């Protein structure tokens, strides 16, 4: 086979692998975000039952969960941006 064809094939395979890795990272981060929202929901549900909504905003574990949610949302946005750049680059080449 021609070396140019092999290089094109290799580059295409690497691009697909990279996109797949980003998708896996995105799915993992979305799962983490879901877990954090569930933990927050459980805390809030308990606070509503015990009529402690004012006190929950000062609970360190709630503050930590909210911080984790914000971090996950940023990471997801970055991964989605990276994925859209990769797919835009592929469509330009096609």
Task: State the Cα–Cα distance between residues 65 and 68, nearest whole angstrom.
Answer: 5
Among candidates 49, 65, 72, which has minimal Cα distance to 57?
Answer: 65
pLDDT at residue 55 in the model: 82
- Per cent of the chain over pLDDT 90 is 53
Structural domain boundaries in the chain: 3-93
pLDDT at residue 25 in the model: 95
pLDDT at residue 38 in the model: 96
pLDDT at residue 93 in the model: 59
9, pLDDT greater than 60: yes
In terms of residues, how long is the chain?
Answer: 94
Task: State the Cα–Cα distance between residues 44 and 41, nearest whole angstrom.
Answer: 5
Q: For all residues of the chain together, what is the average pLDDT? A: 88
pTM of the full structure: 0.76
**Per-residue pLDDT tens over the stretch 20-63:** 999 999 999 999 999 999 999 999 988 888 888 888 878 899 99
94, pLDDT greater than 60: no
């Amino acid at each position: 086979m021609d070396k140019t064809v092999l290089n094109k094939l290799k580059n295409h395979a690497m691009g697909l692998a990279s996109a797949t890795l980003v998708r896996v990272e995105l799915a993992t981060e979305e799962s983490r975000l879901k877990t954090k929202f569930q933990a927050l929901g459980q805390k809030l549900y308990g606070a509503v039952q015990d009529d402690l909504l004012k006190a929950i905003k000062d609970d360190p574990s709630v503050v930590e969960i909210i911080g984790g949610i914000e971090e996950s949302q940023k990471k997801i946005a970055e991964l989605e941006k990276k994925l859209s750049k990769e797919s835009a680059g592929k469509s330009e080449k096609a």
